[in-house]
Amino acid sequence: MFSLFKKKPVEPVHVVVVPRIKHTNFLRAARAIPGMEQHATPLAEPLAGDLLVTYAVDTGPAFEMVSPATLDKYGLERASLRTRARTNAKPALRSIRRRTDGVIHELTADDNMAACTILFAELWDQIEREEGGKVVAIFPHRDRVYFGRADDAAARPALQKLLGEFNFEDNHALSQLFYTRAPSGAWQAQET
C-alpha cells in the first residue's frame, strides 16, 4: 500500500536524447567488443528489415549511445526513449532538403538525421500525398535517403544503381534493401 505514495522518478528535461538509425551489424559489432558487458551494450529496437533504432544522449561535444548504464547515469526511462528522441529530432528534420531528377528524390537533413525520417510516418504520409501514390525507398546511409514512386518502372533500377555507388563498409552505411510502407504505415523491407 505504501508503494502507492512513492514518488515516481522524474526524468531530467535537460538531457537531450536523439534517435540514431543503425544496421543490425552495429549491434553485433558492439556485442563482440572484448569486455563489453550487458549493461554497457547500446539499446536497440528492431525497426524494419535490417534497420534498428538506437538512441544517443547529446552531451554537446559528442553523442553517447544509450545503454542500460546510460539510463541509470542520466535518470532516463527506457519506455520514454522513442518519444523523447522523436521530439528532439524534429528541429533537425525541419531542415530536410529534397532534390530530384524527376524519378528519384533524395532527402538530406542536418545533424546526420536523414535516415531518422523513417521514424516519422506523418512525413512519409505527406510525401506519398505529394507523389500521388506509394513510394519505394532506400536508406543506404545515415545522411542519405532516396525514394521514387513504387509504380514507376524506372524507380527501382535507379535506386539499385544508387545502392551500387555506396561503400557499405563505411561506419555510417545502413541498408541495401528496398523499403515500402504497409497500409498501416509501417515500413517493410524487400530484397533488391
**178 and 101 together in one domain:** yes
Torsion angles phi and psi, residue 101, rounded to 5: -105, 10
Is 19 strand, coil or helix? strand
What pLDDT does residue 12 have?
Answer: 56
d(CA 113, CA 130): 22
Inside any domain, residue 3: no
Strand ranges, E, within 49-143: 51-58, 63-65, 97-100, 105-108, 135-141
**180 and 119 together in one domain:** yes
Over 90: is that where the pLDDT of 136 sits?
Answer: yes
**84 and 96 together in one domain:** no
Report the domain count for the chain: 2
**Grid coordinates 528534420 are at which residue?**
93
Residues spanned by the domain of 78: 15-89
pLDDT in tens, 52-100: 999 999 888 888 999 999 999 999 999 999 999 999 998 888 889 999 9
**pTM (2 d.p.):** 0.89
**146 and 62 together in one domain:** no
Please say which residue of 61, 89, 117 terminates a domain: 89
Over 80: is that where the pLDDT of 36 sits?
Answer: no
